[in-house]
Amino acid sequence: MTTLSLNPVVDVVVEISPLSAPRRAFDLGLIIGDEDTIPATERVRQYTSTDDMLTDGFTSTDSAYKAALIYFSQSPKPYKVLIGRQSLTGITAVTIGAAGTGYSPGEVLTLAGGTGGAVTVTTVSEVGAVTGIALTEAGSGYVVGAGAATTASPVGGTGCTIDITAIGETPVDAVRACRGKNNDWYIAIFPGATKAEHLAIAAYVEAATPTTRYFYTTDDASCLTTAATSLFAQMKAHKYNRSHGVYSASQKYVAVSVAAYAMRANTGLANSAYTLKFKDLPGITVENLTTTQVTNLEAVNGNVYINRGYYYDMYEQGVMADGTFFDEGLGLDMLSNSIQLNVMDTLYQSRKVPQTEAGVTQLVNSCNQACISAVSQGFLAPGKWTGQDVLELKTGDLLPLGYMVQSEAINDQDQADREARKAPPIYVSIKEAGAIHSVTIGVYVSR
């Protein structure tokens, strides 16, 4: 018997919406060392314990292992950490030795003499002789010298050799390379960096993508004075708002402990917002400083672990180099990321978002959802708007939800913008919950 399809009578169409983009967790730190346990071509590995690191080949004397011990000593204990690799024998500069023949732009040439070093062919002559190259992998185990043989991938040209003119990554090169290999980490720590190297890394993280923070410890004694040449003073002068410096005379890994708390505490759950001030640092001892030294240090936006009132070992103040509080910057990074991805998911998952008030409302609602999460976490809270006027929101108005999302009217949109399919501008006004760091109490006595 011949049977026919039911589709002309009952046509069932199943559509599955695209998955939302994964949100950044903002809960993962990166510790960078120069041990060769991790291949330079791999660059970054994740560990859930220091035992895992020992099993992987690290030793108890390795700087990265010692830093991880402090990281996992924080309470509550972090779930994981990333360990990055600085390659001291990696290639940092090359020139063309012999040009060879038969090459094409885009071919990758792996260099002999070490492991994992590679350049990419950028330009060639008419006969395929290499005329331009770009270093793409530093590798490890190389020495400065001429005539390193190459292996092409895919197989193409022959005869090209590379002169290695410099080796040994700087710390900022290593941080940049780790970011290129892994986008999950939020805080980088480079315990072995010098004063100049801290400044170089700080300059990089200001513009790094995705958003990044740098935590470091310094024993620069001039930070305890009013010297303008101190590391903290120079960081402050540059107004860096993504670098967080800690002073310690003899403890190398204080910033590691602070970063561990910052990442473990940031669960994204309800009421998970926090401040770094007052926190305990397991495995770290307090600094023995005078009131004047602490005042000088904090005047240039340095941070320190000290004792107050005999009983309280506490971290203060929890600020970045420009004086802004770390938790404020973290909250804004998280909110910005959530708004961006919420709006992008709306555009990506819809057949189309119409260029109408209803369509703009969809985008506004996407922003609202991000703000609702920030309120739940404790980053935003109701309060009086003290900023400038924003459309219908005026200075002095109350924000009963802790935020207000507005857009310009679609009917007022410029025709050129409409033809370019742009949405009218959307404005997100937020009121931070803040945190109390000090209090004055008056006691009035009547006899």
* pLDDT over 90 at 66, yes or no: yes
pLDDT band at 1 (very low <50, low <70, confident <90, very high): confident
Percent share of the chain, pLDDT over 90: 89
Please, where in the chain does CATH 2.40.10 lie?
Answer: 91-167
- List the structure tokens of 77: 């204990």
Position 18 scores a pLDDT of: 78
Position 295 scores a pLDDT of: 97
Comparing 139 with 242, which gets the higher pLDDT? 242
In this structure, the number of other CB atoms found within 10 A of the CB of residue 28 comes to: 21
Position 367 scores a pLDDT of: 97
Range 258-273 average pLDDT: 95
Which among 200, 193, 245 has a CA at the least distance from the CA of 224? 245
Report the side by side order of strands in the sheet with 213-218.
Answer: 44-47, 81-85, 29-33, 187-189, 213-218, 243-247
Which among 398, 412, 413, 409 has a CA at the least distance from the CA of 429? 398
**Class of the domain covering 91-167:** mainly beta
Position 301 scores a pLDDT of: 98
Q: Which residues contact 130 (CB under 8 A, 6 or more apart)?
A: 96, 99, 100, 103, 121, 123, 124, 157, 160
Position 41 scores a pLDDT of: 83
In this structure, the number of other CB atoms found within 10 A of the CB of residue 65 comes to: 20
pLDDT band at 165 (very low <50, low <70, confident <90, very high): very high
Distances, alpha carbon 99 to alpha carbons 93, 96, 105, 107, 363, in Å: 17, 7, 13, 14, 54
Range 229-240 average pLDDT: 98
Position 377 scores a pLDDT of: 97
- Residue where the block lists tokens 């602070």: 258
| List of long-range contacts for 293-298, beta carbons under 8 Å, 24+ apart | 293/224, 296/223, 296/224, 296/225, 296/226, 297/223, 297/224, 297/232, 297/247
Position 67 scores a pLDDT of: 97
Any idea of the CA torsion for 409, 410, 416, 422, to the nearest 10 degrees?
Answer: 100
Whole-number mean pLDDT of the chain?
94
CA 138 to chain centroid: 22
pLDDT band at 156 (very low <50, low <70, confident <90, very high): confident
The DSSP H or E segment spanning 330 is helix 326-349
HEC-encoded secondary structure of 41-92: CCCEEEECCHHHHHHHCCCCCCHHHHHHHHHHHCCCCCCCEEEEECCCCCEE
DSSP 410: G
Pairing of strands 118-124, 130-137: antiparallel
Position 155 scores a pLDDT of: 79
